[in-house]
Chain A
């Protein structure tokens, strides 16, 4: 039945593209989570009246975040071609898409981390200080656990955005479902291929959202 509905779909190619999309999305999500969290924590702690209040560091970090967040992703990929080439020696393949994906998504996520951390009750941080907690204890045992549901829903949104970014990364030959839909579906006018690729992207997005929502609810004890 599937063959009659989707006569032009080369299933082996389709699965390979799905695997590439999942590969790019998962690696870039993990790295974005770590990097964005680190930048977000720095942004939070260096803001006025916080533990490491520092106008210069806060301004510089904030500026870098804003610059990279403002560049359209498709332009960022092109701008980063020399950097990717230097880093990986090639600009082709799924790995070559990773630097652009991470640099595009981490600042976006850092902002969400900042919003999540600002939602933490100031009194809780004060209580930890009154107990004699070090900054590192406050970060690991107060800031991150107390904002965890927001951090997870934030990374879920970011992961979904990254699925979209991987489709665009297809233009530098990164592969994936977006690339397949564009080359095999659009350029060769095979609409069934485009449709199948879209369905698979939707499934991936739904699964990511479901996982994110489940973990968010599980961690929220408020």
Chain B
């Protein structure tokens, strides 16, 4: 659905040339939810704007929905944009128009007659769950409702691709989840390809099938979300993964544990996919003469399956503990000794 080949984007600034995107190759499949994660300044905003021609690459080709966005301009580009729509962090609604009029705007641009426009707007308002608010102005809506209007507006012309520019970054956690659920629902019901950029790993974890990690204009890592969670390669990816697993709280807990469990070993187990359902701990206790205490646990659901971490204290004679560790390796659970008390 989307192919980026050797994309480089340079800007001329007062302090010389700035490379926002550096030699990026990416391919996104039809019907998939693809996430691009990076800190601000990593080049992800530029990346997403290359996909609908709001930015043109300095070199390389951008192909979206069989249109070469890097090469077309004028009416052809404007027509192509109607099939690649976008939602924004700050919603970018017209305050001078009501909810219904905002949603009708792209239809007016596409030249849809008034009667059809009204019918379509009604459909869309129902789709995003804003019944009864059609005559409200954006200033009368909450953040989540505004983003729903943004989504309805983006879907008006039945696009093939939906680009989400930090679409949930201005929302509170609960509203974020509701909007993400709506995006998944749209993706499944309409078969829409969704590309989103974010700096929150939580968003990637919750709805993306695949992810690309960007740093300083380059894609440093990409793949299935679960794989990236399981075996992050680049340092920055590890940092993002730890946003979910090692919260500050966890780190504090571990520090306290050191004090509380002076004997034995503290081990972090990482479970991925079906392995989360294996009775690893009870096996451990049955097979080896060790004491196992669970000190911390965490499980997150991703689009490709669950991902969990568990911190346990294993205590017993030295041989028994080593044997237990060896066993853990054989059952394909990632283990990491965090505190070696011996």
Complex CA distance for A126 and B95, rounded to whole angstroms:
15
- Contacts A129-B54, A132-B82 hold; do A145 and B109 have CB atoms under 8 A apart? no
Contact stretch, chosen from B83-91, B257-265, B327-335: B83-91
The 3 closest A-B pairs by CB, nearest first: A132-B81, A132-B78, A127-B92
Complex CA distance for A130 and B88, rounded to whole angstroms:
11
Residue numbers of B with Cβ under 8 A of A are 52, 54, 77-82, 85-86, 88, 90, 92-97, 105-106, 108-110, 137-139, 153, 157, 163
- Contacts A123-B92, A127-B86, A131-B105 known; list 6 others, CB within 8 Å: A121-B90, A121-B92, A130-B163, A131-B82, A132-B77, A146-B95
- Contacts A137-B109, A141-B105, A222-B139 hold; do A130 and B94 have CB atoms under 8 A apart? no
Give every chain B residue within 8 A of A134 (Cβ-Cβ): 78, 109
Q: Are B88 and A123 in contact (CB under 8 A)?
A: yes
Complex CA distance for A124 and B79, rounded to whole angstroms:
19
Q: Are A124 and B94 in contact (CB under 8 A)?
A: yes
**Number of A-B contacts defined by CB within 8 Å:** 66
**Which residue on B lies nearest to A148, using beta carbons?**
B96
Give every chain B residue within 8 A of A126 (Cβ-Cβ): 54, 88, 92
- Contacts A132-B82, A137-B109, A222-B139 hold; do A127 and B88 have CB atoms under 8 A apart? yes
Give every chain B residue within 8 A of A146 (Cβ-Cβ): 94-96
Q: Are A145 and B96 in contact (CB under 8 A)?
A: yes
Q: Are B78 and A133 in contact (CB under 8 A)?
A: yes
In chain A, positions 109-168 with a C-beta closer than 8 Å to chain B are 121, 123-124, 126-134, 137, 141-142, 145-146, 148
Query: Can you list 9 A-B contacts (CB < 8 A)?
Result: A123-B88, A123-B90, A124-B94, A127-B88, A128-B109, A132-B81, A133-B78, A134-B78, A222-B95
Interface size class of A (residues with CB under 8 A): 20 to 34
Give every chain A residue within 8 A of B78 (Cβ-Cβ): 132-134
Q: Please report whether the interface of chain A is mostly helix, strand, loop or mixed according to DSSP.
A: helix
Q: Are B85 and A221 in contact (CB under 8 A)?
A: no
Complex CA distance for A127 and B52, rounded to whole angstroms:
11
Give every chain B residue within 8 A of A222 (Cβ-Cβ): 95, 139
Complex CA distance for A222 and B94, rounded to whole angstroms:
10
Complex CA distance for A174 and B24, rounded to whole angstroms:
69
Q: Are A131 and B109 in contact (CB under 8 A)?
A: yes
**Which residue on A lies nearest to B102, using beta carbons?**
A127
Q: Are B54 and A130 in contact (CB under 8 A)?
A: yes
Q: Are A145 and B90 in contact (CB under 8 A)?
A: no
Give every chain A residue within 8 A of B96 (Cβ-Cβ): 145-146, 148, 219, 221
Chain B nearest CB, measured from A73 CB (Å): 34
Complex CA distance for A98 and B191, rounded to whole angstroms:
62
